[in-house]
């Protein structure tokens, strides 16, 4: 099982993104693997594409369909408490985004060992192998 992070999905969708080529290579390598993601990832991807990157609505719809058609999308609210514990674990040296801490908690609980991401702070968790 491989967890899909938001920045990986965004890189895969934007041909002009600096990580597009690498994201495409990774996607081709994991195409037949079981892929997991969470509802927070869906909101991260769609919000980033729509608000921060100001992409057209068609790309947001394409992202939504890609996520739901290629991976299992989990409810993640059960992991918020444990996500906060991860934030406290790494604080103050490393200030990790709450969402990423929730993903770590989810991955630990479901024994998911790999994450497709370009975020290096996942390397802080020695139980997670970052595919990048």
Per-residue pLDDT reduced to its tens digit, 11-47: 999 999 999 999 999 999 999 999 999 999 999 999 9
State what percent of residues in the chain have pLDDT above 70: 100
* pTM, entire model: 0.95
Q: What is the mean pLDDT of the chain?
A: 96
Return the SS3 of 119.
coil
Q: What is the mean pLDDT of residues 76-102?
A: 94
Return the SS3 of 76.
coil
| Total domains, the chain | 1
User: Which CATH number goes with the domain that contains 127?
Assistant: 3.40.50.1010
Return the SS3 of 40.
helix
> What is the chain's Cα-based Rg?
14
Give the pLDDT confidence score for residue 119 in this predicted structure.
96
The HSE-up count of residue 34 (CA atoms within 13 Å, CB side) is: 6
Give the pLDDT confidence score for residue 92 in this predicted structure.
87
Nearest to 83 by CA among 93, 69, 97: 97
Confidence band, pLDDT 50/70/90 cuts, at residue 107? very high
Q: Which domain holds residue 85?
A: 2-131
């Amino acid at each position: 099982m491989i967890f899909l992070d938001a920045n990986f999905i965004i890189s895969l969708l934007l041909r002009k993104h600096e990580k597009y080529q690498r994201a495409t290579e990774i996607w081709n390598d994991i195409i037949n693997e079981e892929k997991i993601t969470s509802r927070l990832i869906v909101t991260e991807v769609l919000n980033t594409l729509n608000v921060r990157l100001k992409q057209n609505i068609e790309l947001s719809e394409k992202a939504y369909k890609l996520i739901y058609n290629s991976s299992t999308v989990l409810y993640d609210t059960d992991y918020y408490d444990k996500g906060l514990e991860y934030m406290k674990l790494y604080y103050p040296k490393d200030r990790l985004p709450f969402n990423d801490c929730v993903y770590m908690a989810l991955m630990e609980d479901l024994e998911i060992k790999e994450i497709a991401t370009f975020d290096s702070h996942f390397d802080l968790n020695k139980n997670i192998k970052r595919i990048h």
